[in-house]
Amino acid sequence: MGKGRVEAFTDGVVAIIITIMVLELKVPEGEDFSALVPQLPIFLCYVLSFINVGIYWNNLHNMFHTVQRVDGGVLWANLYLLFWLSLMPVTTAFMGENHFATVPVAVYGFDLAMCATGYAILVLALHRLHGQGTAFAKAIGTDRKGRISLAVYIAAVALAFLNRWIGVGLYVVVALVWLIPDTRFSRVLEK
């Protein structure tokens, strides 16, 4: 089964997620600067989520680049990842509208953790299909960065109940680490 339409569908869904997220940024009520202040935490959440979804798109882009083909398992692993990504507009707004209250921060982190499991499952499904020694296997290695991110997200959700800013801080740290695009793939591709 060719990978073209999976790429196109994934691009489409991610493009829509990243764009409809902004619909949760309600139009400020009032016409002076003070109307913008309550929007600030929501805006910051939006920036964080935009970067997170952008990271997923970049990584999926690079990953599928090294992939030769897909099967039913890959399609559903991908849909599972897209499911949790599609919840990001809602969990983002939940965290922003409640000004980073504890439970919304934990829910946001839970969503990020579920996305990370989706990414891990997708890596496994592609691994099973492509086997050792292929460009994909070489590029992804043991997906250490993905596994560590998942562990940090789970820790962040737990620590958010101690102090919510630890949770938020860890989400930002993981995003910054990934913002540097996954050079594993480009390294292999350029050889």
Binding site for a second copy (CB under 8 A): 1-2, 5-9, 11-25, 27-28, 31-33, 35-36, 47, 50, 54, 57-58, 61-62, 65, 71-72, 75-76, 79, 82-83, 86-87, 89-90, 93-94, 97-98, 101-104, 107, 179-181, 183, 186, 189
Cβ of residue 168: shortest distance to a second copy, in angstroms?
Answer: 14
Nearest CB to a second copy, comparing residues 103 and 162: 103
Nearest CB to a second copy, comparing residues 14 and 122: 14
> Does residue 27 come out as left (phi exceeding 0), alpha (psi in the -120 to 50 range) or beta?
beta
Cβ of residue 63: shortest distance to a second copy, in angstroms?
Answer: 12
SS (H, E, C) the chain: CCCHHHHHHHHHHHHHHHHHHHHHCCCCCCCCHHHCHHHHHHHHHHHHHHHHHHHHHHHHHHHHHCCCCCCHHHHHHHHHHHHHHHCHHHHHHHHHHCCCCHHHHHHHHHHHHHHHHHHHHHHHHHHHHHCCCCHHHHHHCCCHHHHHHHHHHHHHHHHHCCCHHHHHHHHHHHHHHHHCCCHHHHHHHHC
Cβ of residue 96: shortest distance to a second copy, in angstroms?
Answer: 9
Quick one: which of 89, 87, 139 has its CA closest to 118? 87
Cβ of residue 163: shortest distance to a second copy, in angstroms?
Answer: 16
Nearest CB to a second copy, comparing residues 1 and 151: 1
Nearest CB to a second copy, comparing residues 18 and 159: 18
Nearest CB to a second copy, comparing residues 76 and 165: 76
Cβ of residue 59: shortest distance to a second copy, in angstroms?
Answer: 11
